[in-house]
Amino acid sequence: MKTIDELLAEGVRGKRVFVRADLNVPLAGGTITDDGRIRAVLPTIAKLAEAGARVVVASHLGRPKGEPDPAFSLAPAAERLGELLGQDVAFATDTVGASAKETVAALADGRVAVIENLRFNAGETSKDDAERGAFADRLAELADVYVGDGFGAVHRKHASVFDLPARLPHAAGHLIATEVGVLKKLTADVKRPYVVVLGGAKVSDKLAVIDQLLGKADRILIGGGMAYTFLKAQGHEIGISLLQEDQIPVVLEYLARAEKLGVELVLPVDILASSDFPDLKGKTPAEFITVDADKIPADKEGLDIGPKTRELYASKIADAETVFWNGPVGVFEHPDYANGTKAIAQALTESGAFTVVGGGDSAAAVRTLGFDENAFGHISTGGGASLEYLEGKTLPGLAALEV
């Protein structure tokens, strides 16, 4: 895989460099609530601009249905990128139309432009190779060189991620190089004990990664909504907690395999449970009880791990040399149900291990709960991409850069 440093050594002054970034930031009323993904791609864009390239930045945001939708405009991201770069960033109001062509043509050496949301064009996400390829052809007209740095999208076979690199000289940006380097530390020559913390709502989202990690990790700590399917599989009462009943046979097989392999698969021992899902907007005080994990009342739902589980999980992390965490272990958006996720994050910062926060809600939780990002070894920008890499899948965006 060619690196951006090699590309810079060859010289990029005056060249139009298309940077496929991941500017898929959360918005509230048009205001960015977390600019982590923009800051993550900043080193690549800044270096290219400093070297005199004419930088064309492209990304998706949200899931518009293949046509323009003002709610998913990249305009706020372009404005924030300009603030971070310390220069005005031009913004094209379309992807491959007149505005994009005029905006790119007007770029001077060392300047940066952002084109509108790639998913405003149906060709970006099309499953039809010809339609996707046609869109990639039009994108290629805007550039001389391609740099892939949108790690959060490399697991997607999309035009700007998979097809476009085949049409232009290409290299991997700093972010992708960093992310891949970190993931290799989680899959090859891992320093042990290796502890994995998995949370989130659905056990089905994590089955493939659990399958892979059962042969690699020393301990797997389970939390979040997915924990209740494990508890149900063990025959415990889980009340009205999240349950994927169809996954119970697979969960039972994993529990048996973990025991056979000597992998500690650790489940909550106590739970915060309530009859009502919390109000996440008003964040009014929650009404809950703390109960043993095998005694959740029939009319209550588990919403966070309890104090005994927080202590247990912290002790399982304390002596680790490597920790990978993906998924909050409770409804962290509400302060009364954030203590479990906060305890996991705190344990990672105190462990002395090489710690990786696997993107998505975990990364959002770290920032929302006020942790210093530098206290972690690495905070990934791509939760889904990280998981698929750990599952052993071929990621289309990485494969395209390796050709």
- Classify burial at 143, counting beta carbons within 10 Å of its beta carbon; exposed 0-12, middle 13-18, buried 19 or more: buried
In this prediction, residue 204 has a pLDDT band, given cuts at 50, 70 and 90, of confident
Average pLDDT over residues 342-368: 93
Average pLDDT over residues 171-186: 94
- Alpha carbons within 13 angstroms on the beta-carbon side of residue 353 total 29
Q: What is the pLDDT of residue 158?
A: 98
* 257: annotated active-site residue: no
In this prediction, residue 205 has a pLDDT band, given cuts at 50, 70 and 90, of confident
Q: What is the pLDDT of residue 215?
A: 85
* 63: annotated active-site residue: no
Kind of pairing between the strands at 27-28 and 31-32? antiparallel
Whether 29 has a pLDDT exceeding 80, the answer reads: yes
Query: In 86-225, which residue ranges form alpha helices assigned H by DSSP?
Result: 98-105, 129-140, 174-185, 207-213
Which tens digits make up the pLDDT trace of 70-90? 999 999 999 999 999 999 999
Average pLDDT over residues 39-56: 97
List all residues 6 or more positions away from 238 whose beta carbon is below 8 Å from its beta carbon: 228, 231, 232, 296, 302
Residue type, 261: L
Whether 360 has a pLDDT exceeding 90, the answer reads: no
Whether 359 has a pLDDT exceeding 80, the answer reads: no
In this prediction, residue 364 has a pLDDT band, given cuts at 50, 70 and 90, of confident
From the candidates 327, 360, 382, 397, which is the catalytic residue? 360
Q: Which of 49-58, 298-307, 364-373 has the lowest mean pLDDT?
A: 364-373
* 52: annotated active-site residue: no
Q: Which of 68-72, 330-334, 339-343, 388-392 has the lowest mean pLDDT?
A: 388-392
Q: What is the pLDDT of residue 202?
A: 84
In this prediction, residue 310 has a pLDDT band, given cuts at 50, 70 and 90, of very high
From CA 263, how far away is CA 250, in angstroms rounded? 17
Whether 116 has a pLDDT exceeding 80, the answer reads: yes
Q: What is the pLDDT of residue 352?
A: 93
Q: What is the pLDDT of residue 6?
A: 97
Whether 326 has a pLDDT exceeding 80, the answer reads: yes
Q: What is the pLDDT of residue 361?
A: 86
Which tens digits make up the pLDDT trace of 261-292? 999 999 999 999 999 999 998 899 999 999 99
In this prediction, residue 133 has a pLDDT band, given cuts at 50, 70 and 90, of very high
Q: What is the pLDDT of residue 141?
A: 98
Q: Output the six-digit token pair for 140.
A: 């290629």
In this prediction, residue 188 has a pLDDT band, given cuts at 50, 70 and 90, of confident
From the candidates 37, 47, 157, 206, which is the catalytic residue? 37
Q: Which of 50-59, 218-227, 378-387 has the lowest mean pLDDT?
A: 378-387
> What percent of the chain shows pLDDT beyond 90?
89
From the candidates 152, 306, 358, 384, which is the catalytic residue? 384
Q: Count other Cβ atoms within 10 Å, centred on residue 52.
A: 16
In this prediction, residue 143 has a pLDDT band, given cuts at 50, 70 and 90, of very high
Q: Count other Cβ atoms within 10 Å, centred on residue 385.
A: 29
Average pLDDT over residues 110-114: 98
Q: What is the pLDDT of residue 276?
A: 93
Contact by Cβ (8 Å): 42, 21: no
Q: Output the six-digit token pair for 90.
A: 């031009």
* 223: annotated active-site residue: no
Whether 201 has a pLDDT exceeding 90, the answer reads: no
Q: What is the pLDDT of residue 384?
A: 87
Kind of pairing between the strands at 301-305 and 270-274? antiparallel
Average pLDDT over residues 139-148: 98
